[in-house]
Chain A
Amino acid sequence: MRPSFFHHLHPPSIPARQSRFRYTLGAGGYSVFLILVLLFSGALLMFYYIPTPAEAGPSIQMITFLVPFGALVRNLHYWSAQILVVVAAIHMLRVIFTGAYSPPRRFNYLLGLSLFVLSLFLDFTGYVLRWDEGVRWALVAGTNLVHSIPTIGPGLYRILMGGAQPGPATLTRFYSWHIFGLVVILLGIGVWHIFRVRRDGGIAVPPPEQRQTPERISRFELVRREGLAALIGIAVLLLVAAFIPAPLAPPMSEVTIQVADSKAPWFFLWVQQLLKSGDAFWMGVFVPLAVLLFLGSLPYLLTAIRSDELGRWFPPSGRLAQILVLALVLAILGLTIIAALPPPA
C-alpha cells in the first residue's frame, strides 16, 4: 500500500514497546486530537459569536438554544478544552514519571511545557469570551493579578485589557488572542514539538534490551491505532457534549442583578485558594510562576536519568524529580478540592 498524506505525517516505523498505550497513555496523541476538535468546533462557533459586550452573551444564547446543533458544537468545544488541560497534564506527568525529559529531550520538554501554559491561556481567554456574570469574578480577579506585579504590572494590565478597566477593548483583545494570537503560537510550537519528537528519536528511548533489535510498528499500524483512538474519542466527546451542557450565565451587566459566581475556572481554583492566604502578587503571580520555573528547570537542575533506566515508568535515578512533582500535584489537587468545596455555612 502506498502511504497516503496522513501516513507521511508519521515516521515510517516506531518502536513497538514505546508506542504501547500503557507507556504513553495516548495522552500526547489525544492532545493533538482535542486541538483538532477545538479548531473545528471553534471555527464553527466563530460564525455566530459576536465579540462585543452587548452581543457576546446573546450570541452565545443564540448558539446554545436556537442554532441547529449549536449547543452540541459549543459543548464539544467546551469539553474538548477542559479535557485537553487534563490530558496535557497527564502527558506531562507521563514524561516526568518515565524520565523522558532527559537529554536530548530537555528542550522539547520545555516546548511541551509552553504548550501546556498556552492551552491554559487559551482556556482562560475562551472562558472570558462568555462575558457573562459567571466569568466576572475570574476576569476581574485574574487580570488584577497582572496589575499587582511590581513596576510593570499597571502597564501590562493596560496592554492586556485595552484600558483601565474591563470594557469593549478587553473583549476584542481576549477574542483576538483566543482565535488568533494564541492559536498561531500554539500551532507553531505544537508542530515544532512533534518535529522534535521525531528528531530526538521517536516517542521514547526503548529499554536497553530492546535497543539492539527493537520490535517496531509501521506507520500504517500507527495511523490505524490513531484512527481507532479518534473514533472512540469523538464518540465519547459527542456523548459528553450531548448530555453535559457547558456553563452559561446571564450576560455581564453594569448592574449585577444576581450574586455572581465568585469561583475561578477550575484549573485556576488552586491559585484562588492561595490568594486567600496572602498577598495578591506573591500568591497569585509569584507562586504560579515559581511552579512553572520549577517544572521547566527539572531537566536542567536534577541529574539526568541513567541511560539503562530509560524506557520504563519510574526510573530510580529520577526519584527526586518524581517525588517533588508528585508532591506538587498533590498540593495543587488539594488546594483545588478545598477551593471547590462549598463555603461553610
Chain B
Amino acid sequence: MKKAILAASIFLVIALLVVIWQATHLPRPIALTPTLTGAEEFCLTCHNDLPEISPSHPIETFGCVLCHGGERLALDADLAHATMRGGRNPSDLGVAELSCGGSDCHTGSSELQRDHVGRVLTSLQTTYAGAIASIRFTYGAQSSLPAQMAIEAVQALHPPAGPNDFRPQRLAAFDPQAESHAFIQAFGHNCLTCHLRAEPLPGPDYARLTGCAACHTPTAGRDLNQPVHQLTTVIPYTQCNTCHNRGNYDLRQMSFVPRPDAPTDRLHDYYQPITQFTRCEYELDCLDCHTRTEAMGDGYLYNDQAEQQYVQCKTCHGDLESPPLTRTIRNEADIALRMAYLNPQIPLQIGDTIVVTEKGEPIWNLRQLADGSFEMIAKVTQVRYPVPLVIGSTCTQNPDQQESRYCHACHAVER
C-alpha cells in the first residue's frame, strides 16, 4: 500500500509539474485600453506587428475592437475572431454602419458632410442603379430609363429638392432570379462584379476590398491574402482602376470580358480603345478633379453616372466668359481645411482662395495664386501644375457646349 501511495504521489507531482510548466509557457497577454472604449482588449498579443491603420485612427484611441469587433478578451484565435465584423474587412457595407458609422464617427451630421456611410449607401458605386436600369430597359423589364432598382433596396437620405427633382426617392432590390428575360438574369449572374458590395474578380489587377476599403485601403497590385492594414484619403488612380477601365461588357454574351493586359503606361494603354482623353486624365489621379460626393454620393439617389458625376473641364478651367468658381477660406470650420488636414502634403491655410464646383464642393488642391493664376498640386504625387484658363485664350468653343466631350474634340491626346 505504501508503495502504491508513493507511486501515486509521484504521478501527482508529475501532473502538477506538467500543469505548472504549461501555465508558465503561455503567451504573455498584451493589454490595450483604448480611450474611446475604456475596455481592456488583448488583440495585440498576436497582432502587435500590424502597422497603425492611419494617423486619424491612433490605436491608443481606437484600439482594435471598436472597428473590427471580435472577442476582446479571448486569446484563442478562433474564438477571438468569431464575432469580427465583416471578417477581415469591417468596412464591408453589410457592417460598415456598425464598424465605421455611428454619430461620433462616419454617420455624423449631414451638414458637416460627416454622414459618409449613409451617403455611400446611396452612391451609384453602391447601387449600380444606372447599369441595372439600362439593361432592364433594353430587355423590356421596365418601360422607361430612370432607375427603379439597386443591388440592395435603398432610400434617399434627403427629400426631393423641388418639384423638378426627378431623382428616385427609393430603389427596390434587384433580384436577377425574379427577372423573366434570360439576358437580364445573365447580367445579374455575370456582370455585378464592380459595385462596392461585390467581391472582386480574382487576380492582382482586381485586388480591392469591399465597402469603404474598396477605395480607402490601397490594395491595387497586392496579394489580398496578406493583410493590408491601411486607410487613406490619398487614393491613387491604380486603386480606382481595380474596377474602372478593366474590360468591356459583351452585350451579345451578356458577360464581362476582362482585358488581358495589366496597363502600365497611362498614356498608351490605360484607357479603352476609342476613348478620348486629355493630359489631365492621364497625368493626374482621379481624385484630383472628381469630388467626394461624385465618388461617395450626396444622399440623393441618381439614375446613372452622368447624373452623379458632374465635374467637367470647365470646373477647373472656367469658360469663355468667366474663370472657375472660387471661394476664399475664411475660418477653420471650412471643410476644405479638414480635407487638406487629412492629406497634409498640401499646405492649405486660412486666406487661401480655392476653386469650388457648381455645387460648392471645394477642389481644395487647386488654388489661386497671388498673381491671379491657378495652380493645382496633385494630391497623390504632389506635382504642381499651372492650370490654364479658357477665358482670354484662343479657344473658339460654343458657349452652349460646355461638356467635356466638346473640349475633347480639340484637346484629346492622340495615342
A residues apposed to B, CB below 8 Å:
58, 61-62, 64-66, 68-69, 72, 221, 224-225, 227-228, 231-232, 234-236, 238-239, 241-242, 248-251, 253, 257-258
Contact = CB atoms under 8 A, between A and B. Distances in A.
Given A64-B76, A248-B76, 8 more contacts: A61-B74, A64-B74, A65-B29, A221-B1, A231-B12, A232-B11, A238-B15, A238-B18
| 3 smallest beta-carbon distances between A and B, as pairs | A231-B8, A61-B73, A235-B15
A224 B1 contact: yes
B42 interface: yes
A81 B249 CA distance: 63
15 contacts: A61-B71, A64-B74, A64-B76, A65-B73, A65-B75, A66-B75, A224-B5, A231-B9, A231-B12, A236-B15, A238-B15, A238-B16, A242-B22, A248-B74, A251-B83
A68 B28 CA distance: 11
B323 to A, nearest CB: 54
Contacts of A242: 15, 18-19, 22
Interface string B379-415: 0000000000000000000000000000000000000
Interface string B4-44: 11001101101110110011000001000000000000100
Contacts of A61: 71, 73-74, 79
Interface in B58-77: 71-76
A227 B71 CA distance: 42
B13 to A, nearest CB: 8
A257 B18 CA distance: 37
B82 interface: yes
B12 A62 contact: no
A125 B75 CA distance: 26
> Interface on chain B toward A: helix, strand, loop, or mixed SS?
helix
A249 B79 CA distance: 6
A250 B11 CA distance: 36
Contacts of B83: 250-251, 253, 257-258
A251 B74 CA distance: 11
A258 B79 CA distance: 11
Contact of A228 (B8, B23, B29, B79): B8
B15 A69 contact: no
Interface of B: 1, 4-5, 8-9, 11-12, 14-16, 18-19, 22-23, 29, 42, 71-76, 79, 82-83
Contacts of A234: 12, 15
Nearest to A58: B73
B71 A250 contact: yes
Contacts of A250: 71, 79, 82-83
From B4, B12, B15, B79, residue with most partner A Cβ within 10 Å: B15
B74 A65 contact: yes
Contacts of B19: 69, 72, 238-239, 241-242
A227 B16 CA distance: 17
Contacts of B4: 228
Contacts of B22: 242
A140 to B, nearest CB: 20
Contacts of A228: 1, 4-5, 8
B12 A66 contact: no
Contact of A235 (B14, B72, B76, B82): B14
Contacts of B15: 234-236, 238-239, 242
Nearest to A63: B73
Contacts of B73: 58, 61-62, 65-66
B7 to A, nearest CB: 9
A232 B15 CA distance: 10
Contact of B11 (A66, A225, A235): A235
A66 B29 contact: yes
A257 B74 CA distance: 17
Nearest to A248: B79
A221 B73 CA distance: 48
A62 B74 CA distance: 8
Contacts of A232: 8, 11-12
Given A227-B5, A232-B8, A239 B18 contact: yes
A264 B18 CA distance: 33
Nearest to B20: A69
Nearest to B27: A65
Contacts of B18: 238-239, 242
A257 B82 CA distance: 8
B74 to A, nearest CB: 5
B82 A231 contact: no
Contacts of B5: 224, 227-228, 231
Contacts of A238: 12, 15-16, 18-19
Nearest to A76: B19
Contacts of A241: 19
B78 to A, nearest CB: 10
Nearest to B84: A257
A222 B275 CA distance: 96
B72 to A, nearest CB: 8
A66 B8 contact: no
A239 B1 CA distance: 24
B23 A68 contact: yes
